[in-house]
Amino acid sequence: MDNHGGTQFLNVDLDIFGKVPLDPIVEAFGDEVLVLHVGKWGRRYSAHVELSASGAESAHQADRVVRQLARLVERLPRRARRIWNQADAREFNLGIEAAVKSGMFELRLKPETLAAVAKLDGRIVITVYSPLRVLSSVRKRTASQTDRLTRRRAAGSKRGDSRKL
């Protein structure tokens, strides 16, 4: 993730939310997907997957990835498809990382991609990640490491002091 270059398309996650366990859907996808989460989500259930080999490196890949995910859903066995149809939400979430300094960024989806998602009663969600989230997590990690080191040094000096007494 290059935060000093341009804004970039990252990948597409398929996010499913429902009242019943979604494991049959994820199991039916098999090795075609990487499972980010499947299980309880508060009082409900959710499943979050992405293609195991999406190779999503440019905005032009978004169409391809969404259509591949849609094909996986179309091929679901009857039981898993029933669970899909009863889900509260079926979201094809396009992840985009904003750059610190960037010009305009456009991500276009073809009409046939939108039609494939609509046919599955899905929706397109766009998530734009701030470039500051990466910087913030680095700062937090560094601050946490510094705090631990300071505590260790303080504990060591206390042990050292008590031995002198």
- Give tens-digit pLDDT for 15-64: 999 999 999 999 999 999 999 999 998 999 999 999 987 655 566 799 99
Helices (H) and strands (E) in the chain, counts: 5, 5
Greater pLDDT, 3 or 44: 44
The answer to whether residue 2 sits within a structural domain is no
Distance CA 154, CA 160 (A): 10
The sheet carrying 8-18 orders its strands as 33-41, 44-51, 8-18, 89-97, 123-129
Q: Are 11 and 49 in contact (CB under 8 A)?
A: no
Q: Pick from 129, 65, 63, 75: which is nearest to 99 by CA?
A: 129
What residue type is assigned to position 5 of the chain? Answer: G
Q: Domain residues for 98?
A: 8-130
Are residues 117 and 76 part of one domain?
yes
Are residues 157 and 88 part of one domain?
no
90-114 pLDDT, tens digit per residue, is 999 999 998 887 778 889 999 999 9
The answer to whether residue 3 sits within a structural domain is no
Please give the full DSSP string across 28-60, using - where no structure is assigned: HHGGGEEEEEEEEETTEEEEEEEETT----STT
Distance CA 105, CA 93 (A): 17
Distance CA 113, CA 89 (A): 18
Indicate the SS3 state at residue 13. strand
Rounded to 10°, the helix 61-74/111-119 angle is 30
Distance CA 159, CA 112 (A): 69
The answer to whether residue 83 sits within a structural domain is yes
Are residues 165 and 87 part of one domain?
no
Q: What is the pLDDT of residue 162?
A: 38
| pLDDT exceeds cutoff 50 at 4 | no
61-88 pLDDT, tens digit per residue, is 999 999 999 999 999 999 999 999 999 9
Q: What band does 130 get if pLDDT is binned at 50, 70 and 90?
A: confident
Are residues 96 and 58 part of one domain?
yes
* pTM of this structure: 0.76
The answer to whether residue 151 sits within a structural domain is yes
Q: Are 86 and 17 in contact (CB under 8 A)?
A: no
Q: Are 7 and 96 in contact (CB under 8 A)?
A: yes
Q: How many separate domains does the chain show? A: 2
